[in-house]
């Protein structure tokens, strides 16, 4: 395992994005081996998907698709290189924070089922009141998963719904 603080990533390749021609794909080399931290990240990122056999972690950061390997990070659908640097900085900080708190975190080595917008939608109060700024509760569910929405924007959530949703959607 690396010694904190983890130095982050250095971009080695910038390519056209295969998923969206208006975006870029970035490959960045880790300044240290982060493979031992992936199960810890899997435990603290509710929408991440960990593959224990390959030791890779896949997640979404807003509209971006991020895949972490022990020595690399790949970001698909980045807006531009500055956007990719922001995501890589977030990853560096996240990895360092998880490393600092690793004694408090139970690493999760299991593959988790991906959370979809219908999973989130079913936990919302319904009614499409628009208080969150979205036209429907379904649109709000998508916004939550994409990182464009925040739970506190839904004024109709009770404490139980908010707690269950907090376990499913990113807050960052």
Segments in the chain forming alpha helices (H): 38-44, 81-100, 117-121, 137-146, 159-166
Nearest alpha-carbon partner for 11 in 77, 81, 92:
81
- Average pLDDT of span 61-68: 88
pLDDT digits (tens, 9 = 90+) for 82-137: 999 999 999 999 999 999 999 999 999 887 666 777 888 888 988 889 999 999 99
CA distance 110 to 51: 8
- pTM of the complete model beyond 0.85: no
The pLDDT, as a whole number, for residue 19 is 78
Taking alpha carbons only, the member of 171, 32, 153, 162 closest to residue 90 is 171
**pLDDT of 40-60, one tens digit each?**
999 988 778 899 889 999 988
The pLDDT value recorded for residue 64 is 87
pLDDT band at 3 (very low <50, low <70, confident <90, very high): low
Domain positions in the chain are 9-100, 117-166
Residue 172 pLDDT exceeds 50: no
Report the top-level CATH class of 9-100. Answer: alpha beta
Rounded percentage of the chain residues whose pLDDT exceeds 90: 49
pLDDT band at 1 (very low <50, low <70, confident <90, very high): low
pLDDT band at 171 (very low <50, low <70, confident <90, very high): low
Report how far residue 68's alpha carbon sits from residue 61's, in angstroms, rounded to the nearest whole number.
12
Integer Cα distance of 123 and 126 in angstroms? 8
| CATH 1.10.15.40 correct for 117-166 | yes
pLDDT of residue 90: 95
Do 66 and 58 contact (CB within 8 A), yes or no? yes
């Amino acid at each position: 395992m690396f010694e904190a603080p983890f130095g982050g990533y250095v971009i080695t390749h910038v390519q056209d994005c295969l998923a969206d021609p208006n975006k870029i794909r970035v490959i960045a080399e880790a300044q240290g081996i982060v493979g031992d931290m992936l199960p810890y990240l899997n435990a603290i990122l509710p929408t991440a998907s960990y593959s224990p056999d390959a030791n890779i972690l896949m997640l979404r950061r807003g509209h971006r698709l991020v895949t972490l390997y022990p020595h690399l990070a790949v970001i698909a659908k980045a807006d531009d290189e500055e956007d990719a640097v922001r995501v890589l900085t977030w990853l560096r900080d996240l990895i360092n924070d998880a490393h600092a708190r690793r004694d408090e975190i139970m690493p999760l080595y299991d593959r988790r089922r991906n959370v979809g917008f219908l999973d989130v939608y079913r936990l919302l109060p319904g009614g499409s009141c628009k208080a969150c700024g979205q036209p429907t509760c379904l649109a709000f569910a998508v916004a939550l998963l994409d990182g464009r929405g925040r739970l506190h924007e839904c004024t109709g959530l009770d404490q139980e719904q908010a707690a269950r949703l907090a376990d499913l959607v990113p807050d960052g």
